[in-house]
Amino acid sequence: MIRILIVEDEKPISDLIRWNLTKAGYGCTCVYDGLEAANILENQGFDLIILDVMLPHINGYELMEYIRSLEIPVIFLTAKSSLEDRLKGLTSGAEDYMVKPFEIVELLARVNIVLRRYRKAEQCLKFRDIVADVDNQRVTKAGKEVVLTPKELELLALLMRNQNITLFRERIYEEIWGAEYSVESRTLDLHIQRLRRKLELGNAIKTVFKVGYRLEDTDEVSI
């Protein structure tokens, strides 16, 4: 379930957005000022934030500073259409902005685009006869289910999202463990090993010596 946080103090607009996004299959949460937003963001993970600029207590741009560190995409809503405001929105790190009044169908289009861009709307990942449904924590090989643990699936998904790209050990570590990589640790190698075994991915997961790993879908190379 993709979760969207709507930060908008005008209830009619907030309700309109929530109604439409819910209908489109997203999970919505509404808050009505910037402080509430900051609080709920601390405790819960969202995939996208729709953020009104004019808010009580904390304005949208200030809140944006905080959100930026969370790396959640933001679509700004603004009544202002002055050039400075549009620029401010874009340069503050928002993914997109909409000027009120807006058509709800356009908002939906933008939501989809931003989510697709961020790959949150993750369909199934595919590689050869392997299908990984990240949202449902399921993996099949040739139609038969293969049981992976959460960490294993995370690693597999990272590899599958980056087919034919060499993933450096440092990057994998950072993305999956959120930690610094240290040479002494055999953790990553071990997980790779487990994936190779469970999915019979022998040489499809190539080891790039001293560098990292790469999931390769062909034996030929084209750069």
Q: Which residues bind DNA (CB under 7 A)?
A: 147, 149-152, 169, 177, 183-187, 189-193, 196, 207, 209-212
User: In the complex with its own copies, which residue's Cβ is closer, 17 or 58?
Assistant: 17
User: In the complex with DNA, which residue's Cβ is closer, 8 or 152?
Assistant: 152
How many CB atoms are located within 10 Å of the residue 127 CB?
A: 19
User: In the complex with DNA, which residue's Cβ is closer, 66 or 181?
Assistant: 181
178, amino acid identity = G
Q: Tokens representing 151?
A: 């960490």
Residue 166 gets which letter from DSSP? P
Q: Are 214 and 208 in contact (CB under 8 A)?
A: yes
For residue 13, the minimal CB distance to DNA (Å) is 38
- C-alpha 48/C-alpha 122 separation (Å) is 14
| Of 1-9, 10-18, 138-146, 183-191: span binding its own copies (CB under 8 A) | 138-146
For residue 148, the minimal CB distance to DNA (Å) is 8
For residue 142, the minimal CB distance to DNA (Å) is 21
| Of 19-27, 39-47, 58-66, 215-223: span binding its own copies (CB under 8 A) | 215-223
User: If binding is defined by CB under 8 A, does position 69 make contact with its own copies?
Assistant: no
Directed axis angle between helix 187-199 and helix 150-161, to 10°? 80
Residue 183 burial (C-beta neighbours within 10 Å; 0-12, 13-18, 19+): exposed
Strand order through the sheet with 125-127: 125-127, 130-133, 138-141, 144-146
Partner whose binding site includes residue 189, from DNA, its own copies, none (CB under 5 to 8 Å by kind): DNA
What distance lies between CA 161 and its chain's CA centroid? 12
User: In the complex with DNA, which residue's Cβ is closer, 29 or 162?
Assistant: 162
Partner whose binding site includes residue 24, from its own copies, DNA, none (CB under 5 to 8 Å by kind): none
Helices (H) and strands (E) in the chain, counts: 8, 12
Which residues contribute to the site for its own copies (CB under 8 A)? 83, 86-87, 90-91, 103, 105-106, 109-110, 113, 117, 124, 131, 133, 135-138, 140, 143-145, 149-150, 165-166, 208-212, 214, 220-223
